[in-house]
Every structure is written in structure tokens, then in C-alpha cells.
Amino acid sequence: MALHSNTSPVYVAFLFSLNYVFMTAGSGLSSESSTGLSAPYDELYYRGVRAYFREDWERAAEFLEKSISTRDKLLQTRRKCHDECLTAGDDKISKLDEDDFTLWDLGILDWIQVRAECVRFCMGRSVSPAALLPVSSDIEYEFGTRNPYNYLQVTYYKLDKMAKAASAAHTFFVANPSHLEMRNNIEKYRRLLGVKEESFLDREREQEQHWEMYDAAVLTESSSDWVKAVKKWKECVNETLKQTEECRAQCVMASRVIPEEPDNVQGIYERAADLSLSLLSCKQMCVTLVSTRPGRVSALEDFLPLQLEHLHIAQFKAGDLKGAVETLRSLLFFYPTDSDFLSNLELYTQTLEGDTEAQETGPMQEIAKYISRALQEKRLLYFGMANLDFKFSDPDLWTPEDVVPESLRETWRVEKEKLNEKLKQGEKVEEVDDSGFYAGGPVPVVGVTVTMDDQGLNGTNRVVLDGVLSQSECDRVMQLATVAASVGDGYRGRRSPHTPHEKFEGLTVLRALKLAQDGLVNQSDARLLHELGETVKILMDSYFRSHSVLYFAYTHLVCRSAIPGHQEGRLDLSHPVHVDNCILEPETRQCWREAPAFTHRDLSAVLYLNDDFEGGEFFFADRDAKTVTARVKPKCGRLVGFTSGPVNPHGVTAVTAARRCALALWLTTEKHHRDMEREEAEELWAADGKSVVKEETGDGESALKTARSGRSQGKERSKERERVTGRRDEL
């Protein structure tokens, strides 16, 4: 309904009260008994927690599970009633004469009453009166942070239900990735018999599926499969819109009660307007909630427009210009004056000359409705800020200035400028490495020299060392890789996990030993692979002045081979920009130390074996994953070392011809994350009565060989250590 300039404040308040029904309806008490819920979920939760502290594990599990399922049913019922009553009373609104205001108040009240009765009746059919009452903010916080699963994890452990305990632990950890105790618990569950990988199930996954789709779309895009990327991005956009609607429905049905004794004396219109504005603000905040990953405090700015931009690029690269036009016109709803969008649209329409239907393709209807509704709500909220002293924080960067009342525009502009300045400064923040390592220590291996340090590599805790290997040693390891790959490398010769244009081959120390035992490779070459790791650890430990004992986290001989006939016009990377011990989020420049990242890795190293290939250049990048800060060209005996944290994002350019091989190593200060496969190989060697350390040969390389003796042959190893399995990675 249009808002006329001569409308009195009382009618403006009534306009706000249109939405008030949804909040008051949820607080009405039905006389009908509950058929779906036995008790309020907060009461069930209290009972579960009390049973937990009494160590009554059976009852604790029962009540905690009931509290979770009861809350889920309540949220589903709210959404169902919201949908059922969406058009209730619309016939009464349509009968109102906009030019006759004499009965306008009564007509609106009649419409509100019909909508309220619909919601009250719908909720009363499934929810008990007690379950309709508001819950405390503390309880909402408990469920928002997934704390019930924290209790359930211990409860199921005590009940010896390890698969359920693992699932509860994982569900909690997804939303609390910095909870170190839970991280350790998960590692323990992984080592228990009967706990399978599928046991680590996120029970709240349904509410976060848009993030899974977002990650899948980014991964597909990185492999340059543009047709599939279009499909993935469309799925992501649709799921984001769906989750937004789910969130908004909960705002509409949230149990609210008008305070009986407000702080200041207000009339019914002012009080209704205040509650209605709170409802609209809640709906607007769904943008932030949906754009924030579980366990993170900051939202991904412009989440929906960002997806549309990715979709538009994928459509263009897939040759779907009609779809690109539709998506661009949708993007222009958010940023109507963006010069890049406008020039791209002009280019597409010119390319589609003669195809009138494609040229005149309009925006997505879902986006048009989304924008129209958002702008209406923003206008009301900004009106409330200007006239009713209401507080509102706009979650969107795209909000147009003409939505804001003139009296607020100056303040709005200042806040907008501060935000933009903050974002710009964020791009220029000097990276600080808090890992505890400090580059610049001595190089204790004869013949190894520092080629590039922090200054030469434009970063922190980075180094390039040359002379780690001789050419003959490079040749031996290259031959080992060739022979090992030809008989099975443990990866079934599959293509690279990062690009379809390259073949990926890998070999571990344990695999090399077993091949040697079968007589397929030389024992001396297998031992050389092991010794190289020892040398690298000595160099990394010394140069980065390790503050703790270092352990091998993983060692991997990696080869990438360009697939003939699949190289023309490649724009992808052999390994996209990433950080080794956290998940890099280029859009926000954040790096999250959470699964599935290898958060225990402290130092990373790559020892190159050859240079007779094209592409395959190692590079360091800024956190935006776009700005290259330093490049390193591989060659035999060259080692790149760096700390594994967010100060060192890195990647590998496409290998476009021949075969690139390198030994990738990661080191950790956490003993329980040491590489058990490597130690198993050492034990097998010891069982055969053979040293894992190469003896001096007197061929002029004795000093180097001695330096590689990083372990004492008589060192005892604990028989009680447990195997820790996990996903592998390579550089």
C-alpha cells in the first residue's frame, strides 16, 4: 500500500502493525492439547543437563535428544504456519477504498485479526500452549552454538556408543573450530575400532547446505568445467534464497510478547510499530546469518551478489550468453551503475544481435522479488530510525542512498565511508606471523646456500635454498618415481585432484620400501627418499629457529604430468592458491583453522627434482588469492621452505608440458600428529637389520651424507603410539 505524504503518523504506525500479527500470534495460548510436542524444548534441555551432571547418562541422552528434535519440530511448524497463512485476510484488504480513510483503521485491524487467528489455529494444532512461550536468550545461545552436542558427545562416550559420540563431537566442532579439546576428542574417535569415517556426520548439515554448494561451485570453477559450474552456482543461489526464506519465517513466527509495563509511556500504535520494526530488522538480519559460516563471526559481504557474479562468469565461459544476460540484469538490481556490469551487458547484447528474445531476456524473477521486498523493508526501517528513534544496522553494502531519509543521509554516508575505508585498510594490513618461528637461522648442511630470503620473497618466514641435492641424486629419485608410478602409486594413476588437465602421481616412504621389498625398486633409492626428508628437517629446524621438537607430519613424492591435447587456452592452476594449515577465504581475507584443513602443520617444504617441463612455477600470493607476491622456478636440488600459516598463501601454475616432480614435506610440533607411515617404514628397515641412514661412501659427498643422519639408530620408539589417519595433500 502506498505511503502518501499527507498520511498522519497514526496510519504510518498502522502500516508498521501489518506485520505485528505474526509476532503476537505466536504468543497466544491454545486450549488444545499438544499432539506433536510433549514439552517445551528448553524444559527438556534443562532436564538433560541436570541428568548429565548427575551422571545419569541414559536419561541425559534421552532428554538432550528430545530437546533437539522438539526444537526442530517447532521450527518446522512455524514455517508451515507461515506458509499456510501467507494470504489469510487478503480479501479484506482488497475491499478497502484507498481514498476513504474513515474506515481504514478498522479494515486493517480486521485483516490483522484474520491473519492472527489463522496463525494461532495452525500453531495450536501441533504445539502445546507451554511450547509457544518465549525461551530465554541463554537457551537460544546454547542451541545457536550447538552446545547440546557438546553434552551429547560425552554422554554417548560414557554409554559406549562411539559412533554417536563421534557424530555429536563433529557437529559441535563444525560450529566451534577453535575448541582444542573437541579436536583432540575427534582424533581419538578416529582411532577407535568401530568408528568409521561416515560416523563423523554433521547433524545440523541441512541448515548449512548452501555452504556445501558454494564450496562445490568454487571447486568446479577452479577446474574450468564451466557447464558444470553454471549448474553448481545456480544450485547455490537457489539454496541461499531458500535458507533466507527459512530464516525469515522464523522471525515472523518468533514468540514475542508486548511488555505490560514499558519503560516509557507509549500508545498502542507506537508499541505495535516498535515491535513491527523489530520484526523487519530480524528479517533483514537473515542476510547476515545466512552469509556467516558455522563457527565464524563475520559474514561474507555481498554473499548473494557474489554468487550471481560467479554465475555470470561461468555462463559466459560456457557460451550461455542468454543466461549471462539474465544474471547480469539481476546483478544490476544490486549495483545499477556498475560500469563493468553495464559494459558486459552491452557486449552480450551486441554479440546476440539478431536474437531479439535473448537480447530482451529479463532478470531472474526470484531476484526481482528479493530486491523489491528488501527495499520496502529498508524504507520502513529507515523511516523508523528517522521518526521513531529506532536502531537499525543495515546488513547490505548495496543499499541505495535514495532509500535513506534526507535527515539520515549524512550520517549514513559517513558510516559508509568508514566501512569502505576499513575494507581498504584490511587489504593493506601487514601480515604478522605468530607461529613462533623466526627465519634467518644457520644453514648446517655443507654445500647448501640461501638463494632468496624474506626480503627477496616479499614476505615473512620464507626461504629458497639451493644445493640440497646433486644432479645424480635428482636423477635417482626421478627414476624411482617413474618406476613406482608404473606399478601403482597408491592413487590408481588418477588425474590431479585440482585440475583435469594433469595426471597426478604420488609415492610415500612406506610405499617405496614395500616396492623395494618386492624387488621392484632399489633398496638404496628407497632409503635415499627417506634420507632426503631427514636433510630437509635439519635445514628447516635450523633456519626457522624451531622453538620445539619437530616431527614429520607427512612426506610425499609428487609428480604432475601435463595431459597431451588438453593444454590449449588453460587458465586454471595446477594447485589453486591455498594455505596449508587453515582454510583461506579470499573474499574476507580470513583464514580459518578448522577441519578439513591440516591445522597441526607448522612448517612446509618443497624439494624440487627437475626443471625440464613447462609451467609448474611455485608462487606466493596475497590473501586475496589473486596478487602474486613472489615466484620460484623449480630446479634440481632447490628447496622452498615456509611457515604453514596464513602469512604464506601459495599455489602452483599449470604444468603445460612434460612432468614436474618434487618431494613435499610438512613438519609439526605436535607429537601425536607425527607421520606414522614413515615410522612404520623405519621399523620395517630395523626389523630387516638395515640402517635407515645411508653410510658414507667416500665419493666426495660424505659431509652431506653425515648431515642427513637426523636420527639415532638406537632410538627407542613407543609401542603404545596409535595410528592417526587423515586426508593427504600435496604441493
Catalytic residue numbers, as ranges? 660
Under DSSP, is residue 582 helix (H, G, I), strand (E, B) or coil? strand
What is the three-class DSSP state of 433?
coil
One-letter amino acid identity for 273?
A
Residue with cell 605436535: 670
How far apart CA 286 and CA 357 sit, in angstroms, is 36
What nine digits make up the cell of 68? Answer: 533437539
Q: Are 459 and 648 in contact (CB under 8 A)?
A: yes
In the chain, the amino acid numbered 279 is: L
Report yes or no: 253 and 26 within 8 Å, Cβ to Cβ: yes
Strands 573-578 and 614-615 come out as unpaired
Residue 639 DSSP SS3 = strand
For residue 603, give the 3-state DSSP assignment. strand
SS in 3 state form for 86-116?
Answer: CCCCHHHHHCCCCCCCCCHHHHHHHHHHHHH
Q: Which grid coordinates belong to 240?
A: 541461499
CA torsion sign for 550, 554, 555, 560 is: negative
For residues 218 and 573, give the distance between their C-alpha atoms in angstroms, rounded to a whole number.
13
Contacts with 187 (C-beta within 8 Å, 6 or more apart), sequence order: 672, 724
Residue in 310, 319, 334, 327 with CA at minimum distance from that of residue 361: 327
Give the H/E segment covering residue 640: strand 639-643
Contact 656, 617 (CB under 8 A): no
User: Phi, psi at residue 134, to the nearest 5°?
Assistant: -65, 150
Looking from the CA of 676 toward its CB, the CA atoms found within 13 Å total 12
Distances (CA, A) of 62 to 66, 69, 127, 377, 651: 6, 11, 20, 42, 49
Strand 603-608 versus strand 659-668 pairing type: antiparallel
The Cα-based distances of 192 to 20, 160, 185, 195, 722 in angstroms read 53, 11, 11, 6, 10
Amino acid identity of 215? D
Task: Return the C-alpha torsion angle 523, 528, 530, 531, nearest 10.
Answer: 140
The residues with which 632 forms a beta bridge, in sequence order, are 618
- With cell 608440458, the residue in question is 657
294 grid coordinates: 558455522
The β-bridge partners of 452 are 464
Per DSSP, what are the bridge partners of residue 661? 559
Reading the block at residue 345, the C-alpha cell is: 551487458
Closest CA to 201 of 152, 155, 140, 141: 152
Task: Give the span between the Cα atoms of 500 and 135, in whole angstroms.
Answer: 52
Burial of 94 (0-12, 13-18, 19+ CB in 10 A): exposed
Query: What is the distance between the alpha carbons of residues 557 and 483, in angstroms, rounded to a whole number?
Result: 13
Residue 484's Cα: distance from chain center in Å? Answer: 36
Hey, which residues does 224 pair with through a beta bridge? Answer: none
